[in-house]
Amino acid sequence: MGEARKIEIMDTTLRDGEQTSGVSFAAQEKVSVVRLLLEELKVDRVEIASARVSEGEFQSVKKMAQWAHTHGYIDRLEVLGFVDGTTSLEWIVNAGCKVVNLLCKGSLKHCTYQLCKSQQEHLADVKNTIVHAQRMGLTVNLYLEDWSNGMRDSKEYVFRMMDGLKDEAVTRFMLPDTLGVLNPDETHLFCSEMIARYPKLHFDFHAHNDYDLAVANVYEAIKAGVKGVHVTVNGLGERAGNAPITSVVALIHDHMGLSTNVDESKLYSVSKVVESYSGVRIPNNKPVIGDNVFTQVAGVHADGDKKKNLYFNDLMPERFGRFREYALGKNAGRSNIIKNLEALGIELDDEATRKVTARIIELGDRKEIVNLDELPYIVSDVLKNGVENQDIKMLNYSLTLTDGLRPTATVKISIKGEIYQETAAGDGQYHAFSKAMYKIYKKLDKPAPELIDYVVVIPPGGKTNAYVQTVITWKFQDKVFKTRALDIDQTVAAIKATMKMLNMIESGNIPNMNYMRLP
């Protein structure tokens, strides 16, 4: 670790990551992700597919290869290929790619029971495939599949394979913990043995997260001297997934003092795009990119941050295109409130701050979640001017759901004292409500926001009559922000959240911090 070196990052979101149950990227989504990985994040290499999967996959790879050719990245696109004569190689060449990641057997059990071949037979097949790849103009990297179990159970097999392949035209030898079985001690030992025995070869390490040790194993592999590591965006991958790029990059930069080519500031935005494409939500406590990981909850922490940033660490949110927040709930103290008021540009005297703090703690005890968007409304309510100063008020609404007919909604609102009413049908009750509101706004020639996301959350331990929280993400004038509300009925909660949003826009009080620029 004493030598300063740069670690090569290979992202396999579009190959290994797409093996996540229920995940399938469309062709245009794949092109988009490749662009983001190479041009925004600046990863070194991208593994984009497995050969021979389907005709649809072939067409997707062709589109990615065409884009890569045009933009000078074709040598950084890699496709998994198999020891099948020239079948995989022809598939890859015909798709327009130039790099094959050849999958051979890295354990005696796989060779014996899956291939039903001797090691000598398999080694001969691998060498033959490498020769064909050279003739076809392909660069070859080589996976030793199930290498981790091979090192556990049959090191002699692994070393015989390496002895037979070390002088072949292989650019990188890739060491996968295929079943995610290794612990950090084993990872360091096995990688060290490979590097000591074959010091002139380039080794990559490929971790899986079955024991939640993928990032720790990457750490030990790099300590042992591997030159490259494999990751996925958001840790996507089969079973428990792969090592997430966000945690791995932060680990390399902060704990190892080594460098990568990855642009940290783009990690969050790229992660959100992949979240949208994959349909797999990022957990709120996911390191670096989770919604809550830069949120201080305890009041003592906010107080410490005011006093020489006592509760900061090296994971500064600004590195990743994010910002620090201070939670508003039952654990909030006066310092939390002041931090959030400062973010909104609101100044209160000590007595008003005390009252706002008491109200937020009261809401927290009732399991209500208070966020930065809602703080101005709480302040207004506490200071007895919230209701009177609402420019847009819901006077009445009616929702109708009839079997065999589309839901309908009739809404009656006032905007600065003027009353408006409209009726509309929709695909659901809230959709009907939204269309009725849109009719009013269209007649008034008022700009309407775009709904980006809609989430319903049931509090843990809730009963059938429990509140549900509806959280809606909006886009208005290039700003993205959220409003949320609680009610026993999720549609009613959504309507309340919508009214909050409309009053924010009407008053020009959209928070300046709680939004991100869309890519």
DSSP secondary structure letter of residue 215: H
d(CA 45, CA 230) in angstroms, rounded, equals 9
Asked if residue 6 lies in contact with residue 258, where contact means CB atoms within 8 angstroms, the answer is yes
Helices (H), 154-298: 155-165, 184-197, 214-224, 245-254, 267-278
Residue 162 structure tokens: 């390496």
Catalytic residue among 15, 76, 322, 324: 15
Residue found under tokens 């008034």: 444
Could you give the CA distance from residue 70 to residue 398 in angstroms, rounded to a whole number? 56
Q: Which position among 8, 18, 78, 145 bears the catalytic label?
A: 145
What whole-number distance in Å separates Cα of residue 13 and Cα of residue 511?
Answer: 34
Beta bridge partners of 479: 476
Helix ranges (H only) for 328-483 are 334-344, 350-365, 375-382, 429-443
Give every strand in the sheet of 408-415, ordered side by side. Answer: 392-400, 408-415, 418-425
DSSP notation for 392-436: EEEEEEEEE--TTS--EEEEEEEETTEEEEEEEE-SSHHHHHHHH
Q: How far apart are CA 372 and CA 349, in angstroms?
A: 19
Distances (CA, A) of 515 to 355, 510, 512: 27, 9, 7
The closest of 15, 19, 327, 25 to 174, measured between CA atoms, is 15
Secondary-structure breakdown of the chain: helix, strand, coil percentages, each rounded to the nearest 5: 45, 20, 35
Check if 145 is active-site: yes
In 3D, which of 169, 164, 148, 47 has the Cα closest to residue 101? Answer: 47
Residue tagged 């109200």 (tokens): 359
CA distance 209 to 235: 9
Which residues are catalytically annotated? 15, 145
